[in-house]
Amino acid sequence: MPFEGGRKERENTMSQLVALDVQDKFDKGFATIRGIIEVFPDDKWCVPHGDDFYVACRICYHLAIFIDGMIAGGTSSPDFAANLPFGNWSEAAAESLPDKQTFLKYFDEAVARAKAVLEKLTDEELTAALPEENARFGKTRVGMYLHFIREMTAHTGELNKMLNENGLDDVWISR
C-alpha cells in the first residue's frame, strides 16, 4: 500500500524528492515483510529453521519492534521495552510468541506509526547532520535510514530463505 496523505501534495515540490524516495523504499520494505508474513505457513510460523534462533515469528517480531522503536520513534520513551506486547523478542520461546493474526495487528500498528513519521520528513531534515548520540547510524538522517533499510533487508532475506525451505517462493515487493 503506497504512502497516502501528504504525499500527493508534496510530489510536485522539488525539495521533497529525497524524502519521497525514502518513504517509497520503506513502504516497499514494509510491504515485503507483510507479504512474507501473509504467505508463511501457519504450521511453520513458530518452528525453528535450522537453529533455535531462526524462527519466523521471532524474526518478524524483531522487525516489528525495530520499525516501532527506531523508525516510529518508540525508543525515545524510556518505557518502550517494558511495554512491548509480547515481551523480549530475543529471549522469548517460540511457542510463547503470537500466532500470525495476533502478530499482524501489532505489525500493522507499528508500520502505521512509522509511516506517520516518514510522511513528515523533508529533504532538509534528511540531509542535516545527526546528533552525536546517533552517529553510530550515519552522519545524516538519510544515512541512518539507509542503515535501517539494511537491517530490514537482512532479515527479509532470512525470512525468504525460510519460505524457500518450506517450498514457497520469495516475496519481494518492488513496485
| Structural domains for the chain | 7-165 (1.20.120.450)
What's the pLDDT at 3? 42
The count of other CB atoms within 10 Å of the CB of residue 106 is: 18
Say how far apart CA 111 and CA 4 lie, in whole Å.
13
- Orientation angle between helical segments 141-165 and 17-39, nearest 10 degrees: 20
What's the pLDDT at 94? 81
What's the pLDDT at 13? 52
> CA 6, 74, 172 angle in degrees (round to 5)?
65
Say how far apart CA 139 and CA 122 lie, in whole Å.
16
pLDDT in tens, the chain (175 residues): 444 445 545 454 557 999 999 999 999 999 999 999 999 999 999 999 988 889 999 999 999 999 999 999 999 999 999 999 998 888 888 888 999 999 999 999 999 999 999 999 999 999 999 988 888 889 999 999 999 999 999 999 999 999 999 999 999 998 8
Q: What cell was used for 125?
A: 531534515
38 by Cβ neighbours in 10 Å (0-12 / 13-18 / 19+) ranks as: exposed
Sign of the CA dihedral running 88, 138, 152, 34: positive
What's the pLDDT at 1? 40
DSSP 131: P
The count of other CB atoms within 10 Å of the CB of residue 110 is: 22
